Structure 1
Amino acid sequence: MNVNAPKAQFRPNSKLALVDCDIHPRLRAPEDLKPYLSSRWWDTWQTYGLRKRHGFVKGHPYPKSQPGDGARRDAWPTNGDPPGSSLQLMQEQHLDYHGVDVGIMNPLWPGSGDQNLDLSAALASAHNDWQLDFWHAKEPRLRPSIVVPYENIEASVAEIHKRAANKAFCQVFLLSRTNEALGRRKYWPIYEAAVEHNLPIGIHVFGYSGIPISNSGWPSFYIEEMAEHGTACSALISSMIMEGLFERFPTLKVVMIEAGFGWVPSLGWRLDKHWQKMKDEVPHLKRPPSEYLKQNVYVTTQPIEEPEKPEYLVDLIDWIGWDRVMFASDYAHWDFDDPVFAVPTNWSEERRRKLRFENAMGVFRL
């Protein structure tokens, strides 16, 4: 398992801006959140911990060989803090080195899907304050996401309304493995609040739903877990389309993060095929499912597809739309994508502009 990010042999003097849609900041220690939690919630968190809805008591989506939650080995600060917790190292390794103009922060483990709904709300709000104070205030290129306790709908809506006036926040952040499929009407108030403030919904893979990532049981291997993200996201997006979410909120933008995008065309083809024969089951859909997919759903590049023939990658994006794909690095994870390789320099400048920054500028409040 190669967990050191490959260094580019050259750094092209690109004049094109770069927006990174997936950077993972980490707490140095739980005490980083203590200033933002009441004594009640701090004591609850430290005494009883989180109660994740998961099939295995000690189940974890990352291999034990990577104690930094799947991080690059060279991303560990010299003082032993977790990867992704050092602003200085993040600047040196990524923001400055790759010329990142805007980096969107996606905190992965804020407790937002915890079974204790009130603790979940407190931790989500604390993470939002922490993103502002510890990261954005010191490095304005880093933009926070509105972390919401997505199983606590009322608190999620309140958190969106609380944060939306601060234009530093650029999306509402969810994880993909929720208690119910994300198209279910239970979650619609979250989408309504996002639309009200012209905020996209960013959905990052992983999470704790108590449901296997596959529809055939719990995987035995980490490789399986990684490969199943595409099929899991297919089910998630199918739910959103078939439940009529995009008919109800036609301007809603959904960004799928860290799922790649090779699964998108086959999903569109399959949904259209079945819809043609069974559209009477979903009369609320006024158009073929693939049209909602192409209009309302955006994808990020990481982990970039690597077909044996480079033209296959171009064919994929041709179907999805060059205005629907955005660069993401996944810093500081072991399978980090370098923009030099994820957005090839032999593509036309128009295509590179779209993937590097133009699409993100239109989706997020940048």
Structure 2
Amino acid sequence: METTRTTEAAQASTNPFPKIISVDDHTVEPPGVWRDRLPAKYRDTGPRIVRAPLKEMTFLGGRFAPVMGGPGDDGPIGDWWVYEDLHRPLTRLDTAVGYDRDEIRLEIITYEQMRPGSYDVPQRLADMDVNHVQSALCFPTFPRFCGQTFTEAKDRELGLLGVKAYNDWMVEEWCGPAAHGRLVPLTLVPLWDPELAAAEVRRNAARGVRAVAFSEIPPHLGLPSVHTDDWDPFLAACDETGTVIAMHIGSSSKMPSTSADAPPAVGSTITFANCCFSMVDWLMSGKFERFPNLKVMYAEGQIGWIPYILERADVVWEENRGWGGVADKVHRPPSELFAGHVYGCFFDDAFGLRNLDDIGVPNVLYETDYPHSDSTWPKSREVGEAQMGHLDADVVERIVRGNAIELLGLTKDGLWPGPGGPR
């Protein structure tokens, strides 16, 4: 793949490469997100930053296991998010851009050792400029990709306040006036209560939010599957408000792996697997027929695997309808449902782009994954030109920005029109 990223775009079109709208970047929350927004009685128990040593940290079999030290313990010093029993350190993998790939290791860091664009809006916009990116939708870090941190918390009242505090920060500050409409809000919901989740979707939709994070495989979090009716209040709210359900790899808190001792490289190669399983769940759930305006997207899942899964799903739907358990709720071929409801997201997938006709141009979105270790920053434009050089200019325009504008309700210029949008 490295040759793909560095190959000269000999076939590139003479048309200028469109300004990128990235549908999967990440924010590292500043230390005051919850401290500044929670009621006073929770400021010592809600999420907060503590500087402490690291005793040990492993990432094997898809499981991240850090151990925080105490006063007097040896070990590298870093910043930790502390919340109830959770001790979660900031690591180099949270913000790796700007480092040589051979220098990126699983190590603890402080905010001072972090690229400022990870958490500071003006610095983020500057890094977006360097990378030919106009606008970006950002997933969380400490709450995890769909708010699992709050879902797992014991105190539900505090958990709900934590979700709302994050959303207020996301809408009012991260995507606030200083962002000039270039940062697009992605909010969280209290996953433990679909009625509360629906209310939070509507609260944020009223202030211009059109994307909400959700788990790729909810049962991995101890939550109902999409085959039940439990999620219907939440799905109805998304359907009614035009809110896109965004699912990031790892949003089930269970990254794909093969064994408890498999190195991270194994899981990193097959990160798309949960997206694959999740998409089949949704296509066979009947939800797209019950909620006709529902849209889902898979962040960082890449796209090369999609054609075969659609082919297989259609065969199963057609040939196994007698015993497959979906004939009474899935009335159209899964590939048709995909075309109207599902979006795949990629940042480096030359194979998928060679098979674009079997995926569908309207169903593909582009991303840069800033500031993670997989990110194509600061060469996302060059990577895109190399991989899309064989495509017509109008197709490149749709993939790089047009589809995102339509899906996320952005202005024709690619900006978020909400409270923090252009004036």
Q: What's the counterpart of residue 156 of structure 1?
A: 197
- Number of equivalences: 344
Give 1:363 shift. 0.7
Point out where structure 2 has 5 or more consecutive residues left out of the alignment: 51-58, 67-75, 77-89, 100-108, 411-423
- Give me the whole-angstrom Cα distance separating, in 1, the residues matched to 2:384 and 2:110: 26
Give 1:297 shift. 0.4
- Give me the whole-angstrom Cα distance separating, in 1, the residues matched to 2:403 and 2:192: 30
Q: Does 1:90 align with 2:124?
A: yes
Taking structure 2 as the reference length, the TM-score comes to 0.72
Change beyond 3 A, Cα 1:231–1:34: same
> Comparing both chains, which one has the higher relative contact order based on Cα–Cα distances under 8 Å and sequence gaps of 6 or more?
2
**Alpha-carbon displacement from aligned partner over 1:175-225 (angstroms, at most 9, x marks no partner):** 42432444443223222111111111111111354x5635x6556221222
On the 8 A contact 2:361/2:395 being kept in 1, the answer is yes
**Alpha-carbon displacement from aligned partner over 1:260-288 (angstroms, at most 9, x marks no partner):** 01121111111112222221321211111
2:374 pairs with 326, 330, 335, which one? 335
Q: What's the counterpart of residue 152 of structure 2?
A: 115
On the 8 A contact 2:255/2:267 being kept in 1, the answer is no
Q: Superposed, which structure 2 residues align to 1:2-17 within 5 Å?
A: 14=16, 16-17=18-19
- Give me the whole-angstrom Cα distance separating, in 1, the residues matched to 2:292 and 2:179: 34
Q: Does 1:45 align with 2:46?
A: yes
- Give me the whole-angstrom Cα distance separating, in 2, the residues matched to 1:153 and 1:263: 31
Q: Percent identity?
A: 21
Give 1:18 shift. 2.5
Give 1:88 shift. 3.4
Q: Does 1:259 align with 2:301?
A: yes
On the 8 A contact 2:93/2:373 being kept in 1, the answer is no
Give 1:164 shift. 0.6
**Alpha-carbon displacement from aligned partner over 1:151-189 (angstroms, at most 9, x marks no partner):** 33222111111111112x231112424324444432232
Q: SS where residue 22 of structure 2 aligns? A: strand
Give 1:346 shift. 4.6
Change beyond 3 A, Cα 1:233–1:132: same
Q: Superposed, which structure 2 residues align to 1:1-366 within 5 Å?
A: 14=16, 16-29=18-31, 31-46=32-47, 59-60=63-64, 67-74=91-98, 79-81=112-114, 84-93=118-127, 95-110=128-143, 112-113=147-148, 114-116=151-153, 117-137=156-176, 138-140=178-180, 141-167=182-208, 169-178=209-218, 179=221, 180-209=224-253, 213=256, 218=260, 220-280=262-322, 281-283=325-327, 284-302=329-347, 304-307=348-351, 313-337=352-376, 338-343=380-385, 344-366=388-410
Change beyond 3 A, Cα 1:300–1:61: farther
- Give me the whole-angstrom Cα distance separating, in 2, the residues matched to 1:21 and 1:99: 14
On the 8 A contact 1:121/1:156 being kept in 2, the answer is no
Give 1:246 shift. 0.8
Q: SS where residue 130 of structure 2 aligns? A: coil
Give 1:40 shift. 4.1
Taking structure 1 as the reference length, the TM-score comes to 0.82
Letter of the structure 1 residue corresponding to residue 309 of structure 2: L
- Give me the whole-angstrom Cα distance separating, in 1, the residues matched to 2:160 and 2:335: 35
- Give me the whole-angstrom Cα distance separating, in 1, the residues matched to 2:374 and 2:16: 23
**Alpha-carbon displacement from aligned partner over 1:214-258 (angstroms, at most 9, x marks no partner):** 5x6556221222233222111111111212111111221111101
Letter of the structure 1 residue corresponding to residue 337 of structure 2: Y
Structure of higher CA gyration radius = 2
Give 1:345 shift. 4.1
- Give me the whole-angstrom Cα distance separating, in 2, the residues matched to 1:165 and 1:277: 44
- Give me the whole-angstrom Cα distance separating, in 2, the residues matched to 1:323 and 1:46: 40
Point out where structure 1 has 5 or more consecutive residues left out of the alignment: 50-54, 308-312
